[in-house]
Amino acid sequence: MLPSSTLGAIPVLRLQEPLPNLASWIRFFLQAEIPVLQETAQALEDLRAREEDVDAGMLAELIDSDPFMTLKVLAYVSAKRRNLESTQTETVVSSLVMMGVAPFFRTFGLQPTVQDQLRDQPAALAALLSLIKRAERASYFAIGFAVHRGDTDVAVIRQAAFLNDFAEMLMFCYAPTMELEILAMQRANPTLRRVSLQRFVFNIELSDLRQELMKQWRFSELLLRISDGKHSEHPTVRNVLLAARLARHTEHGWDNPALPDDIEEISKLLNAPARVTRGFVYKIDQSN
């Protein structure tokens, strides 16, 4: 995955049929240019115009709000590490501090945008933007849980929750018809599990795609470990999973029938009564 040099440089490449296996999907996304949100591309150009006044913190605040740009920065810096045994960068801000502001702007030119990529797919674009909004809510819940638990890796936990669904986001960009097919099937039968539908449509589980891409991009061991839902017995992993699940189940309101089970599991994670937990998660949601 390479940084972009010109806005809109990527062709509108779309997959109409699923690739046969995980290895094929991995090869595809390792070669694909990832677009970013239009507002991110514009804000980066505004900052570029006054580069001498920009610091790593200012850039990180912008990049941390865009899952696609976050992926690009983490992947680029991870690929540039010469010594695998050296301290691994785990967050956007630490990546930018290591990289430097001037080299960042030299490396990342005008970015292609999601809005251009999906300009003739308004339904897919709307669904993608809703998914990103849900990822933001998941990150807020993850921070709240981590702070309550006294975890020292709050920033990485937030990032893992924010990126939890990035494989699905990539599918919206490059396989929008198939993603909309999944949404239609789920609307027709809400009891169908999204994971099963994704496996049926894409021939893979998107969680496997997420983890393997993160490995290929040489993300930090800590971020990989926290993001791996197959180790849900670990409290930090559960922190991320439950934050993402709560955001998904409350995306359209707080009356989802799965919510009581979510609250019960979050209560166990936080070692708090269910009544207190419910008030706590409401407060997190209302304050963001």
Tell which wins on pLDDT, 267 or 229.
Answer: 267
Give the 3-state DSSP-derived string for 198-258, with helices as H, strands as E and coil as C.
HHHHHCCCHHHHHHHHHHHCCCCHHHHHHHCHHHCCCHHHHHHHHHHHHHHHCCCCCCCCC
Tell which wins on pLDDT, 248 or 9.
Answer: 248
Q: What pLDDT, on the 0 to 100 scale, is given for residue 78?
A: 87
Q: What pLDDT, on the 0 to 100 scale, is given for residue 51?
A: 95
Q: What percent of the chain is modeled with pLDDT above 90?
A: 85
Mean pLDDT in residue range 175-198: 93
Q: What pLDDT, on the 0 to 100 scale, is given for residue 48?
A: 97
Q: Which tokens belong to 268? A: 């166990």
Residue 172 near residue 179, CB atoms below 8 Å = yes
Residue 108 near residue 72, CB atoms below 8 Å = yes
Q: What pLDDT, on the 0 to 100 scale, is given for residue 175?
A: 97
Domains (range + CATH), the chain: 22-115 (1.10.3210.10), 121-286 (1.10.3210.10)
**CA–CA dist 23, 13 (Å, integer):** 19
Q: What percent of the chain is modeled with pLDDT above 70?
A: 93
Q: What pLDDT, on the 0 to 100 scale, is given for residue 11?
A: 53
The pLDDT-based confidence of 9 (bands split at 50, 70, 90) is: very low
Residue type (1 letter), 241: L
- pLDDT tens readout for residues 54-78: 999 999 999 999 999 999 999 999 8
Report whether pLDDT(3) > 80: no
Q: What pLDDT, on the 0 to 100 scale, is given for residue 7?
A: 43
Mean pLDDT in residue range 232-243: 96
Q: What pLDDT, on the 0 to 100 scale, is given for residue 2?
A: 44
Q: What pLDDT, on the 0 to 100 scale, is given for residue 194?
A: 87
Q: What pLDDT, on the 0 to 100 scale, is given for residue 140?
A: 98
Which range has the worst mean pLDDT, 82-86, 237-241, 284-288? 82-86
Mean pLDDT in residue range 117-143: 97
For 59-112, the DSSP string reads HHHHHTT-HHHHHHHHHHHHHH-S-TTSPPP-SHHHHHHHH-HHHHHHHS-SPP
What are the Cα distances from residue 284, in Å, to 67, 82, 248?
21, 40, 15
